[in-house]
Amino acid sequence: MSNHTFKEYAIRPIIGQMIEGLGFNEPTPIQREVIPAALRGESIIGQSHTGSGKTHAYLLPLFNQIDEDSRNVQFVVTAPTRELAMQIYEEVKKAIQFAGKEGTWRSSLVIGGTDKKKMSGKLSSNPPQIVVGTPGRILDMVREEALDLHSAKSFVLDEADLMLDLGFIEDVDQILLRMNEDLQMLVFSATIPERLQPFLKKYLSNPTHIQTQDNQPSPESMEHRLVALRHKNPADIIIEISKSIQPYLAIIFANGKEQADELANELLDRGLETGIIHGGLSPRERKRMLKELQGLRYQYIVATDLASRGIDIQGVSHVINARMPKEEEFYIHRVGRTARAGLEGTAINLYTEEDLPLIEKLEKRGLSFTFYEVKKGEWIEAKSYKERRTRTRDESDLEKKAKHMVKKPKKVKPGYKKKMKQEADKNYKKLMRNSFRNKR
């Protein structure tokens, strides 16, 4: 049991009131590290996975330094997707409400998919103190002089590696060029890829690096199952899996938009009520789908990696990888959608021989996999790939030995190859029986 409380931080009473309203009892590991450093005004590079309490780790100290008498922008939070920006903005609104500062602390959501002219007029006439949004639309508003960020003291870059992958880091660069040089930078990223280093060196001078213990591959309350795909259709196996589980919500991950569309259509054709979410959907379609998910219309949703990083979907009890990702971190992000907030979760992975190197790497990181087959809606324990490899190797060695035992005739007669094969088969069966007896 942790003895840490929010009272140990030098925060204003109104922030304590906010924390109480939010229902937080004690800080999470990332909050314990980030809050005091952020309160001291330090720039931070924080590594933490989704669901670790990261959002409030930066929001609480930033709210603590807000000057409600100033009618200027005081801090900016950027996120790589509209959905993530909307979710952060909802947390901002909730925090303001619990602090009892509605109408006094002003915040604005600055994202695409909305009327640009209307947004520009609103920002110009009633400047916010807090800006949350996507880099592209924030930059648009800055260029149109609807938003002046020069007064901001802090800047948050959330999901920095995803921002880099989606090509938005240049927009962030353009925004920062228009802001104060002595800015407090708070950068959060699940990974710190080498390609991100030039950006970090450019904008962060002597940052505090924070990587907490909650950055582990998976919680103890998660089970990781492996089901051999072999040459089957993933949709067929998923239908069998659906007969054996009762998910609150299951995310089925596909590697790419086209595969996601194809899989979702196949599952719908087989009668499984399935939603879909990926970057190829229009903003309106994505918004509708998220609303339907919140309304519990679907038990299953097919998604791409966008949903593992850029969208916070609540209540996920199962993650099914229709195909395993290519990299360890993507696996971690995907399965991190479940077993959150103390709940249990299950990750079910359809795998092929190509995935074995990834599985071995994940095992070295402490993950434990169990092997199953699913037949007629029943889970049946299967041999691990290591046992199957050993068995295949043993069989191969026995086959060689059996062939070597066959004596080649001095005179070649018609049908001799067939006779040799029959004799080799006979020898192989005999060797197999002896091998089996020796292992008993």
Q: What backbone torsions phi and psi does residue 283 show, to the nearest 5 degrees?
A: -55, -40
Q: What is the count of structural domains for the chain?
A: 3
Residues 110 and 258 grouped into a single domain: no
Whose structure tokens read 């089901």? 227
What's residue 250's pLDDT? 92
Q: Is residue 40 part of a domain?
A: yes
Q: Can you give the pLDDT at residue 371?
A: 92
Final residue in a domain of this structure, among 211, 246, 264 = 211
Burial degree of 145 (CB within 10 A; 0-12, 13-18, 19+): exposed
pLDDT winner (highest mean) among 221-235, 305-319, 423-437 = 221-235
User: By C-alpha distance, which of 57, 54, 50, 109 is closest to 78?
Assistant: 109
- CATH code, 75: 3.40.50.300
Classify residue 217: in a domain, yes or no. no
CA–CA dist 54, 356 (Å, integer)? 32
Same-domain status, 179 and 31: yes
Q: 385-405 and 416-439 are packed helices; what angle lies between their axes, rounded to 10 degrees?
A: 130
Cα-based distances in Å from 307 to 17, 92, 162, 414: 33, 21, 12, 65
**Which residues sit opposite 345 in a β-bridge?**
222
- Is 267 domain-assigned? yes
Residues 78 and 189: beta-carbon distance below 8 Å: no
| 85 shares a domain with 110 | yes
Q: Could you tell me if 434 and 364 lie in one domain?
A: no
Q: Which of 149, 179, 211 is the last residue of a domain?
A: 211
Same domain? For 283 and 187 the reply is no
Distance in angstroms (rounded) separating the CA atoms of residues 43 and 185: 5
Taking CA atoms, 197 is separated from 4, 160, 193, 351, in Å, by 33, 11, 7, 34
Give residue-wise pLDDT tens across range 139-159: 999 999 999 999 999 999 998
Give the per-residue pLDDT at 75: 96
Reported pTM: 0.68
Residues 186 and 243 in one domain: no
185-216 pLDDT tens trace? 999 987 788 888 999 999 998 899 998 755 45
C-alpha–C-alpha distance, residues 374 and 314, integer Å: 27
Instruction: Let me know if residue 43 belongs to a domain.
Output: yes
Q: Which amino acid is at 353?
A: E
Tell me: do 235 and 205 sit in the same domain. no
Task: Give burial (CB, 10 Å; 0-12/13-18/19+) of 23.
Answer: exposed
Please check whether residues 280 and 203 belong to one and the same domain. Answer: no
| Residue 247 and residue 227 in one domain | yes
Residues 119 and 40 occupy one common structural domain: yes
| Dihedral sign for Cα atoms in the order 398, 404, 409, 414 | positive
Same domain, 265 and 338: yes
Beta bridge partners of 301: 251, 275
Write phi, then psi, for 414 (nearest 5 degrees). Answer: -55, 135
pLDDT digit string (tens) for 216-262? 545 556 889 999 998 899 999 999 999 999 888 899 999 988 999 99
Asked if the structure places residue 275 within a domain, the reply is: yes
Task: Evaluate whether residue 282 is within a structural domain.
Answer: yes
Domain boundary among 181, 211, 241: 211
Partners of 85 in the β-ladder: none
Q: 318 is in which domain, residue-wise?
A: 222-382
41 domain-assigned: yes
Query: Do 156 and 186 meet the contact criterion of CB atoms below 8 Å apart?
Result: yes
Measured distance CA(427)–CA(425) in Å, rounded: 5
216 within some domain: no
Same-domain check for residues 296 and 155: no
